[in-house]
Structure 1
Amino acid sequence: MMLMLSVVTTLYRSSRYVDAFYRRIVADAEKLTSSFEIVFVNDASPDDSLEMARRLCATDPRVKVIDLARNFGQHRALMCGMRHAGGERVFVIDVDLEEEPENLGRFWRAMDEDCETDVVVGQLEEKTLPFAKAFTSDLFYKVFNAFSPVQISDRDIVSRLMKRSYADALLQYGETELFLPAVWKDAGFVQKRIVATKVYDGNSSYTFRKKLVMAADAITSFSSRPLTGIFYLGLLSSGTATLVILYLVLQKLFWGRVFVGWTSLMAALFLIGGVIIFSIGVVGIYIAKIFSEVKGRPTSLVRAIYQGNCVRAPRAADDSRREHEWQG
């Protein structure tokens, strides 16, 4: 029998949400089809999220738990869950209940309304974030869109319902550094957006340091413009320096003026030195990404797959860039 729906979500410090999420998503899925599965991907959660999900496995054969060998990050964990999803439609959502599990039914009906739609995405009508978080979020999206040819919206949420063809297209993205919002947009297909809501509970596993790392990874993964910017910055600096030198020479030759000043000299040296170091740093990020990609390491490793009362053997990878999985 063909599986009609797969619900994919990740677990990280999620123990207080698991049971409520399960009840709500099952109640909504049962209204749509009797053929569905729920795929929990445990991203090495330090709490008892895995144990709670395994208890659900024991009572409901429709629940599958993918236990990753270590923490790989939400984006890689979601891609891993999609690889193990067998449904003709795949619904991706966060487990923390900030996004309503009942969106599944709304997205399903929106997809049925137009057979050409490949993915239905939830989009916020307005964002309600604390000032500091809203400022950093807006800044990130503005900077990313300024540098990247792939334009993403700061109002799109994680929740989305995908056809199998779109999900399979996403799985062809084999880069080690994944930034899913841009991958979702870059894949193309016919994407339909409908209004959704999101309630922020104030808890987030993304620290300020993690956000900075993600911002650097996202921009350098989807754009070479920083490298082009370095070229123009160097060109501007060289041109400015040439004009200043020409001006000083003319002052000396025709008017006999000699400009002296330790402060201005040191300021110029610090400015040029800072530009050079910054430029080398940006180039270094790109070199590091090349180094990471050419090694071809797997984007995630699966320790075990739980379904029912047994541990299933992981599905073998069919090429070197797919998940290399093993059973613990």
Structure 2
Amino acid sequence: MDRISIIVPCYNEEQVLLLFYEETEKAVREIETAECEFIFIDDGSRDHTPEILESLVYKDKRCKYLSFSRNFGKEAAMYAGLQHACGEYCVFMDADLQHPPSLLKEMYDVLKNEGYDCCAGFREDREGEGKVRNFLSRNFYKVINRLCDLNMSDGAGDFRMMNRAMADSILEFKEYNRYMKGIFSFIGFDTKWIPFHNVERAAGDSKWNLKSLFKYALDGIYSFSTAPVRLAGSTGILLLILGIILGITAAVRTIFFGYALNGVMLIILLILILNGIQLLFISVLGQYISKDYMETKKRPLYIIKKEKGF
């Protein structure tokens, strides 16, 4: 009999965890030809999430959990869950029930009977989300697809079931700075998409605010594209050419037509603009250098404080 490993990153999810377990356990009962294991990863929660997970381990032998020593982020939690998964099939799910457990049976049937390596949920809409967040999310994927040689679309998230070959390929990526959506696209494999409608969290508050989403977006661009560095170089060349043209023009106007150069304020304004652009692109280069610096340290992606059920 096949085994499906359900990997669930958790961060301060005390209000929704039991409901998630009940709904998902009900859904996996419909999969008659496979058994399931639940792998919960407590990503340094500060509420009662660890206690709830421990109670689930005692209640159901299929439940296991890892508890990080601090918050290492969802990407690290997904990687840790995949490392500890024993199933022939692995699925990533969020604990907030925005990933419908009812799709698990269909996903398994697709992988088992249709020859796909991965079956992923595709969110058709963003109903219930704010207009600003919706606008930024849609346009982020347009930008990142132009910058990176990858195919990532708005609506394609982490909710997906994959076979062991694809799971092992993801585990080959050892980098410290991880962007799972980019990794999914980079490794390829045949994927079937199942559409579903967005639903609001069953309980609790989202851990993703605009600041964290913006940082996550930049991590994705820096992890899979060198376009910002090329843009910095191209802009530098354009500014150099523009400076030469303006210098020649000013010299010609002064020598042949007797025009005096514009005032001090214009010079100060140009200095401020050019220095601002220079500092901006130094920052871009610094981001790549800092990420390479973190990679060379070879620090662990996560540290486990406690584990149960393994």
Q: Same-fold call, TM > 0.5?
A: yes
* Structural mapping, 1:126-275, within 5 Å: 126-128=125-127, 129-201=129-201, 203-275=205-277
Q: Offset at 1:261?
A: 1.4
Q: Offset at 1:164?
A: 0.5
Q: Offset at 1:96?
A: 0.4
In structure 1, distance between residues paired with 2:299 and 2:290: 14
User: For residue 272 of structure 2, what is the amino acid of its counterpart?
Assistant: F
SS at match of 2:16: helix
- Counterpart in 1 of 2:98? 98
User: For residue 99 of structure 2, what is the amino acid of its counterpart?
Assistant: E
Contact 2:110 2:119 in 1 (8 A): yes
Q: Offset at 1:27?
A: 1.8
Contact 1:144 1:219 in 2 (8 A): yes
Q: Offset at 1:260?
A: 2.2
In structure 2, distance between residues paired with 1:274 and 1:138: 29
1:27 maps to 2:26: yes
- Counterpart in 1 of 2:7? 8
SS at match of 2:152: coil
In structure 2, distance between residues paired with 1:292 and 1:136: 28
- Counterpart in 1 of 2:88? 88
User: For residue 240 of structure 2, what is the amino acid of its counterpart?
Assistant: S
- The root-mean-square deviation of aligned C-alpha atoms, in Å, is 1.5
* Structural mapping, 1:277-292, within 5 Å: 277-292=279-294
* TM-score, scaled relative to structure 2: 0.94
User: For residue 136 of structure 2, what is the amino acid of its counterpart?
Assistant: T
Q: Offset at 1:102?
A: 1.3
Identity of aligned residues (%): 26
In structure 2, distance between residues paired with 1:274 and 1:151: 33
Contact 1:3 1:86 in 2 (8 A): no
Contact 1:7 1:91 in 2 (8 A): yes
Q: Deviations over 1:61-117 (max 9, x none)?
A: 1100111121111111011101101000011110101121111112112223412x1
User: For residue 258 of structure 1, what is the amino acid of its counterpart?
Assistant: A
Contact 1:99 1:197 in 2 (8 A): no
Name structure 2 gaps, 5 residues minimum. Answer: none
In structure 2, distance between residues paired with 1:37 and 1:197: 26
Name structure 1 gaps, 5 residues minimum. Answer: 313-328
Q: Offset at 1:255?
A: 1.5
Q: Which runs of 4+ in 1 moved over 3 A?
A: none
In structure 2, distance between residues paired with 1:151 and 1:36: 31
Deviates most, 127-136 or 84-93: 127-136
